[in-house]
Amino acid sequence: MLGLMQQKPLLITTLLEHAALNHPNKEVVSCPIEGGIHRYTYADSLVRTKKLAKALLKLGVDRGDRIGTLAWNTYRHFELFYGVPGIGAVCHTINPRLFDEQLIYIINHAENRFLFVDTTFLDLVERLMPRLPTVEAVIVMTDTGNMPGSSLPNVHCYEELLTEQNDDLEWPEFDENTASSLCYTSGTTGDPKGVLYAHRSTYIHTITACMADVHAFQEADVILPIAPMFHANSWGIPYCAPAVGANLILPGRDVSGAHIKTLIKQEKVTKACAVPTIWLDYLNQVEGTNEGAGSLGRIVVGGTAPPRSMFERFHALGVEVAQGWGMTEMSPLGTVGKLKASMMDLPDKVQLDLLLKQGRGIVGVEMRIVNDDGKELPWDGKAFGLLQVRGPWITSGYFKRDDSPVDEAGWFDTGDVATIDPEGFMQITDRAKDVIKSGGEWISSIDLENAAMGHPGVAEAAVIGVYHPKWDERPLLVLVPKGDPPEKQDVIDYLADHVVKWWLPDDIVFVDELPHTATGKVQKNTLRDTFKDYELPTV
């Protein structure tokens, strides 16, 4: 028997409509590419977003069409976040930092009919355009006065398109499972994969993110999303701010510590989110001045694990730091590092140990760790296994791909290896493909590397699994020495104080340098390839 409650679909535009009606004077503040500061209210934003929607319809955009964006965090990108899905099309945010070949693959795979680009990316698009057969026109996100010349045949000016329209539009109502936005993940191997979000998943994710124990966003907040809008929709914050009527500060192109510091001070930002690199830059700007962090009450840091010192430095400024963990495939929220009431009396050091974990599960996300056989492992903070997740804002498949990333029971494999402690705090210990499988037991390459990095003679360390006839795999430690290489036995002795005996590497190799990706990560695939025939002395 079904209940008798209204079947209003959960649509993204309802969030902006809510803000425009209930918080008409709250502001979206942007740093446009043209320079200066742009301010307008949610009421203004709704009017312009409706004009944009009508402009899209006039361009011939149909339901389901993927509309690409190559843009920084500004109010025009914000309008696209609502205007495009508002008419049933898909806002496809493209990461402009990718290589040309990746961009071409992604735009062609998504079959983008239109590209909305900041002036900064017009050169890029002109270069790629001969290889983008599906793109019918490019819309430059600026006004007529700032409109650059272009060699492209079909280029529109964003503001001109809007000027031609009025805001007389009722949003269409459709299935809440309709696709709303698209974001490609670029793994270290294989083609980029498109994560296709829906109105429903985005709406539920948004409301959940505003819960007091997640981001605790509220009307009184001034929220600065520094994570780019092409990274999992800036972690969902452009949806959260209107949902609660908070002021939203969009930093534009310049995310240097100096600019972030200025924005926080000038706009009285209370909450902000970014990757560790940004925050380290910000800290360097603020520390040593008398200004402190001002209104900033809480930051969320994610994307990669922040160093311990970052917590200490922010705490010294009176700023709460919460680590958020997630993935593009998770909209992105999975866990958030908020201490529990029972932990508030623990010594600072122990609290910090807990905050350095990736956080605890959010209601709506089911989480588990399993071994190679799919057997569930205990939440004891020790056992580590493949981290799997399940829930209404987690991907069920990639765009235009038949292979499913979830198993029969709906579990999505994150590709991470993690522990979960009895209080539900999850800690990532390795990537699944990097963990060393020795006689059925797992050895964390990251833990071994971190231990080796503590040795005074070591500049950089990487651990890979190498074939062993008895144990299947055993760890090989690859070291870049500081100056003269230390004695192997000396390193082994050092490690013996930090890890259990059976984790100790079977051999050590010294190299001049390690292979790195463009973003600075060690390319373990390359290393494994280099040492695939390496014979361990223990064989």
Least separation, in Å, of the C-beta of 515 and a copy of itself?
34
Beta strands at 90-93 and 66-70: parallel, antiparallel or unpaired: parallel
Cβ distance to a copy of itself smaller for residue 328 or 445: 328
**Annotated catalytic residue, options 27, 79, 329, 449:** 329
Return the residue of 80, 139, 204, 227 that touches a copy of itself, per CB under 8 A.
Answer: 204
Residues 350-369 that bind a copy of itself (CB under 8 A): 360-361, 363-364, 366
Site string for a copy of itself, 317-336 (x = CB under 8 A): --------------x-----
Task: Report how far Cα 152 is from the mean position of its chain's Cα atoms.
Answer: 33
- Rg, C-alpha atoms of the chain: 25
7 binds a copy of itself (CB under 8 A): yes
Spatial CB neighbours of 138, under 8 Å, sequence gap ≥ 6: 114, 115, 116, 117, 122, 125, 129, 150, 152, 154, 155, 156
| Residue where the block lists tokens 């945010």 | 93
Rounded Cα gap, residues 117 and 102, in angstroms? 17
379 binds a copy of itself (CB under 8 A): yes
304 binds a copy of itself (CB under 8 A): no
Least separation, in Å, of the C-beta of 169 and a copy of itself?
17
- The count of residues interacting with a copy of itself (CB under 8 A) is 75
Contacts 24+ apart (CB under 8 A), 406-415: 407/374, 411/368, 412/329, 412/330, 412/388, 413/386, 413/387, 413/388, 414/327, 414/329, 414/386, 414/387, 414/388, 414/389
398 binds a copy of itself (CB under 8 A): yes
Return the residue of 145, 153, 290, 341 that touches a copy of itself, per CB under 8 A.
Answer: 341
| Residue where the block lists tokens 């070591």 | 458
Which amino acid is it at 312? E
Least separation, in Å, of the C-beta of 323 and a copy of itself?
16
Return the residue of 163, 166, 177, 284 that touches a copy of itself, per CB under 8 A.
Answer: 177
Segment interacting with a copy of itself (CB under 8 A) among 12-20, 45-53, 136-144, 294-302? 12-20
Beta strands at 222-225 and 271-274: parallel, antiparallel or unpaired: parallel
329 assigned to active site: yes
Which amino acid is it at 53? A
Q: Which two tokens stand for residue 156?
A: 């529109």
Least separation, in Å, of the C-beta of 95 and a copy of itself?
19
374 binds a copy of itself (CB under 8 A): no
346 binds a copy of itself (CB under 8 A): no
Return the residue of 12, 195, 286, 310 that touches a copy of itself, per CB under 8 A.
Answer: 195
316 binds a copy of itself (CB under 8 A): no
Residues composing the chain: 539
Segment interacting with a copy of itself (CB under 8 A) among 100-108, 129-137, 397-405, 482-490? 397-405
Return the residue of 213, 287, 348, 380 that touches a copy of itself, per CB under 8 A.
Answer: 213
168 binds a copy of itself (CB under 8 A): no
CA 238 vs CA 115, 188, 253, 327, 385: distances in Å: 20, 28, 16, 17, 34
Cβ distance to a copy of itself smaller for residue 58 or 63: 63
Return the residue of 42, 75, 197, 282 that touches a copy of itself, per CB under 8 A.
Answer: 197
Residues 23-82 that bind a copy of itself (CB under 8 A): 23-25, 63-64
Return the residue of 297, 397, 457, 515 that touches a copy of itself, per CB under 8 A.
Answer: 397
**Annotated catalytic residue, options 185, 262, 526, 530:** 185
Return the residue of 95, 120, 134, 218 that touches a copy of itself, per CB under 8 A.
Answer: 218
112 binds a copy of itself (CB under 8 A): no
Say if residues 463 and 495 touch (Cβ distance below 8 Å): no
Residues 402-431 that bind a copy of itself (CB under 8 A): 406, 410, 412, 422-424
Segment interacting with a copy of itself (CB under 8 A) among 7-15, 136-144, 432-440, 518-526? 7-15
Rounded Cα gap, residues 28 and 15, in angstroms? 14
Rounded Cα gap, residues 267 and 253, in angstroms? 17
Residues 236-295 that bind a copy of itself (CB under 8 A): 243-245
184 binds a copy of itself (CB under 8 A): no
CA 349 vs CA 257, 309, 340, 506: distances in Å: 28, 12, 15, 34
Rounded Cα gap, residues 367 and 335, in angstroms? 9
CA trace torsion 70, 73, 78, 79 (10° rounding): -50
Segment interacting with a copy of itself (CB under 8 A) among 156-164, 298-306, 388-396, 487-495? 388-396
Report the SS3 class of residue 424.
coil
Say if residues 38 and 29 touch (Cβ distance below 8 Å): yes
Positions marked active-site:
185, 329, 437, 442
